[in-house]
Amino acid sequence: MLLPVPAVAGEQYFLPGASGSAPHANRSANVLRDNTIAVLGSTGSYTYLTREERHTEPIRRHSLQVIGHPGRRRHARNAVCARLSNFLFCVYHVLDGVRQRSVIRSWVTCRVRREPLCDHKTVAKKLTVRRIMPLATVLVVVGLLIGMPWFFQRSLIYFPDRGQPRPAAELLPGAQEVTLTTSDDLELGAWYLPAAVGCRATVLVAPGNGGNRANRAGLGRAISELGFGVLLFDYRGYAANPGYPSEDGLARDVRAAREFLTGAAGVPAGSLVYFGESIGAGVVTELTTEHPPAAMLLRSPFTSLADVGRAAYGVPVGWMLRDHYPIRENVGRADIPTAVVYGSADTIVPAQQSRDVAQAARDAGNYVIEVEVAAANHNDAALGQGPELIGALVDVAGRGGATGCP
């Protein structure tokens, strides 16, 4: 690669291919030493020219020889310099080719027209701010486009209400204030309301990505009125809980909730019903692969976080996600009665994704209750605690053997 550099003003040189010995001033050439230039000739050789003399030497493809005044040529001290310089200028030419819509031509030009680049004066001429800045700008922009979504994406996924909820006695009469301890030693707040005497069903509610348990007190009351027990808890980073939400963190949190129910609360594992709300569906379906419940209800589930992200933004986002929640995949591995409830007018999770989750459960051979609530959007009360939701919970719990409730 030979970049055009004007010859030193006032100097005259014999140029290859020129007829006779007529001098040409300011002709494009690579100035390497005072009164010395090198030009790539048509015969595939570098021609070294000083005032009134010319010497020719064959080109070596990976030559690291420093071109200088005849009799003072020396080998490059740093081979890495030459390779790195050639690479940087190839990248520069390709990026310039993108702008000019001639990437292939730019790359071929770069690879065919090579030259030693380790002479300190040559490198100084070529690695100028004018030539490096376009490449540096592109690298910075690409870094920001990739880095910012990578580091800040969870702020676009989780929307916690970090405020301390009011006491359970004010919002869910009869509920106990309990503390869950996770495997990484975080303490999470929760409300537990035991099942009525003779009822075998207790519902573990994994909430969605917004608010806190105070926003789900109405759901807790509706479940309690069935005679079912219910545990409402908050993930890490929600409702004054320590930590920050993530897929792995939420998995630890729901395990702690289950361990409380089967341990301190004394609820038999066969009496548990998992209730997953939106992103909570991803939490409980992952828990199901380790600890299957008697039954499971998924409210407004998406097939995966990558799928719902693509539906929201219109571009593939799976390649950059740190959290995934593969709900459809996990449902296909489950062997329990499953209810899927969703709204036909959901603008956050497309209804078709919830239908696909229900179909995956059927394909796995599970008993499936599918309920589509007409004209309901993602956060409508009809989906939060409406009669269709509560009816589906009763049906799937009974199918799972959680009976005897009033």
28 and 121 belong to one structural domain:
yes
Asked, for residue 405, whether it belongs to a domain, the answer is no
Q: Which residue, of 128, 156, 184, is where some domain finishes?
A: 156
Instruction: Say if 74 falls within a structural domain.
Output: yes
pLDDT digits (tens, 9 = 90+) for 114-155: 444 444 445 445 555 555 666 667 777 766 666 656 566 777
Band the pLDDT of 72: cuts 50, 70, 90.
very low
Please list, in sequence order, all residues whose beta carbon lies within 8 angstroms of the beta carbon of residue 172, skipping any fewer than 6 positions away: 191, 193, 217, 220, 221, 224, 232
Decide: 126 and 85 in contact? Cβ < 8 Å. yes
Q: Is the dihedral of CA 9, 11, 12, 14 positive or negative?
A: negative
149 and 181 together in one domain: no
* φ, ψ of residue 165 in degrees (nearest 5): -65, 155
Q: Are strands 28-33 and 36-40 parallel, antiparallel or unpaired?
A: antiparallel
Q: What is the CATH number of the domain that holds 367?
A: 3.40.50.1820
Of the pLDDT bands very low, low, confident and very high (cuts 50, 70, 90), residue 198 is confident
Domain count, the chain: 2
Residue 208's pLDDT band, with cuts at 50, 70 and 90, is very high
More confidently predicted of 111 and 11? 111
306: in domain: yes
CB atoms within 10 A of CB 11: 17
Between helix 387-399 and helix 217-224 the angle, nearest 10°, is 50
* 381: CB partners within 8 A, 6+ apart: none
Q: Which domain holds residue 371?
A: 159-399
Rounded CA separation 305/156 (Å):
12
Q: Where are the alpha helices (DSSP H) in 101-236?
A: 103-112, 120-126, 129-152, 168-171, 217-224
Residue 317 banded pLDDT, cuts 50, 70, 90: confident
Write out pLDDT tens, residues 5-60. 343 433 333 344 333 433 433 333 444 444 444 444 444 344 444 444 444 444 33
End position of a domain, from candidates 112, 127, 156? 156
Which residues are 159's β-sheet partners? 210
pLDDT at site 248: 96
> Helix 79-100 vs helix 129-152: angle between axes, to the nearest 10 degrees?
80
Q: What tokens appear for 262 in the block?
A: 């089967």
171 shares a domain with 147? no
d(CA 140, CA 148): 12
Strand 272-277 and strand 202-206: pairing?
parallel
Q: How far apart are alpha carbons 118 and 110 in whole angstroms?
A: 17
Q: What is the pLDDT of residue 254?
A: 98
3-state secondary structure of 246: coil
Instruction: Clarify whether residues 127 and 166 are in a common domain.
Output: no
Residues 89 and 201 in one domain: no
User: Rounded to whole angstroms, what are the CA distances from 126 to 34, 67, 110?
Assistant: 17, 15, 14
C-alpha to C-alpha distance for 202 and 218, rounded to whole angstroms: 16
CB 367 within 8 A of CB 398: no
Of 227, 223, 247, give the one whose Cα is nearest residue 325: 247
Does some domain include residue 406?
Answer: no
Nearest to 31 by CA among 124, 109, 131: 124
Domain end call among 112, 128, 156: 156
